[in-house]
């Protein structure tokens, strides 16, 4: 099979997609703005001169949209046109459980991707990996207090490794999926329940503080996030508070043949 181009190939899902493709014997090209390792290719959404080289000889693309763009279709539409012209047949879009075709901005990408001859749209719930690394929730774990505007509503956190495993199947299965997959973990948890699992594992207090939407937006802005994006994140928390993420799907198991990783296993294996 020809190469697969993995956009966001150095990120949370992309580097796992690259690893999964290579383990399956597929040549994966990891797109990054700063390539410094074999198998990486320079790609910058904002520099179209990098697109043709990244697409040369590529049969399928894992498409992670430009992050933080209010109208990502402005960049994605010409890229997709170039990709199809260059011979790409299959496109797998990383979207979000919170995004439907009708969502302003990101929703347009789902419509664009359906125009590819072969396609899949991945709509994961919130990542378990938000509890590690640089994410605000991970900072909350370090501080002993996770702040959200989700109240006591639940989220079916999903493992980035499971998202990547579904992506690898969607990119390589002989039959194109030509559908969307809503991806969740095996159980929905409130942030208070998740914090209790993390606390028990670390052996120190980690609590959840539920705040209102405006206070949460201020909290996010104080961490260095632009105010406009903080308001978007606060609105997503509000949706969670209303129950939008309190559902479990079986898509991970249906696509990969193995059950989705539990939050408890993730915590034991990835939180130090």
Among residues 36, 38, 46, 203, the one that binds ligand NAP under rule CB under 6 A: 46
Smallest separation (angstroms) from ligand NAP to the CB of 128? 9
Smallest gap, in angstroms, from Cβ of residue 141 to ligand NAP? 15
Q: Compute how many residues bind ligand NAP; rule: CB under 6 A.
A: 24
Cα–Cα dist 127/129, whole Å:
5
161 binds ligand NAP (CB under 6 A): no
Q: Which stretch binds ligand NAP (CB under 6 A): 65-73, 195-203, 211-219, 245-253?
A: 65-73
- Cα-based distances in Å from 51 to 21, 33, 101, 197, 203: 21, 11, 26, 43, 48
Burial class (CB in 10 A: 0-12, 13-18, 19+), 117: exposed
Q: How far apart are CA 123 and CA 97, in angstroms?
A: 4
List binders of ligand NAP among 107-146 (CB under 6 A): 124, 126-127, 130
Q: Does 64 bind ligand NAP (CB under 6 A)?
A: yes
206 close to 141: Cβ distance less than 8 angstroms: yes
Helix then strand then coil, in percent of the chain rounded to 5, is 40, 20, 40
Q: Under the criterion CB under 6 A, does residue 20 sit at the interface with ligand NAP? A: no
Residues forming contacts to ligand NAP in the complex (CB under 6 A) are: 8-14, 32-34, 43-46, 64-67, 94, 96, 124, 126-127, 130
């Amino acid at each position: 099979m020809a190469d697969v181009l993995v956009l966001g190939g150095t990120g949370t899902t992309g580097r796992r997609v690259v690893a999964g493709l290579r383990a399956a014997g597929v040549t994966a090209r990891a797109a990054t703005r700063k390539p410094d390792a074999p198998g990486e290719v320079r790609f910058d959404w904002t520099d179209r001169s990098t697109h043709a080289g990244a697409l040369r000889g590529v049969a399928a693309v894992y498409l992670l949209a430009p992050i933080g763009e209010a109208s990502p279709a402005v960049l994605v539409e010409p890229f997709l046109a170039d990709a199809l012209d260059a011979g790409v047949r299959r496109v797998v879009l990383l979207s979000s459980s919170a995004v439907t075709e009708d969502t302003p901005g990101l929703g347009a990408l789902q419509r664009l991707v359906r125009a590819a001859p072969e396609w899949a749209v991945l709509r994961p719930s919130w990542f378990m990996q938000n509890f590690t690394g640089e994410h605000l929730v991970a900072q909350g774990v370090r501080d002993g207090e996770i702040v959200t505007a989700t109240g006591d509503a639940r989220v079916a956190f999903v493992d980035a490794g499971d998202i990547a495993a579904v992506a690898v199947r969607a990119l390589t299965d002989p039959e194109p999926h030509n559908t969307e997959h809503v991806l969740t973990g095996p159980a929905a948890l409130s942030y208070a329940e998740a914090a209790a699992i993390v606390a028990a594992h670390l052996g120190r207090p980690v609590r959840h503080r539920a705040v209102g939407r405006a206070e949460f937006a201020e909290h996010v802005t104080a961490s260095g996030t632009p105010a406009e994006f903080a308001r978007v994140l606060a609105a997503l928390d509000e949706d969670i508070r209303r129950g939008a993420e309190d559902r479990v799907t079986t898509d991970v198991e249906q696509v990969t043949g193995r059950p989705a990783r539990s939050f408890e296993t993730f915590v034991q294996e990835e939180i130090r």
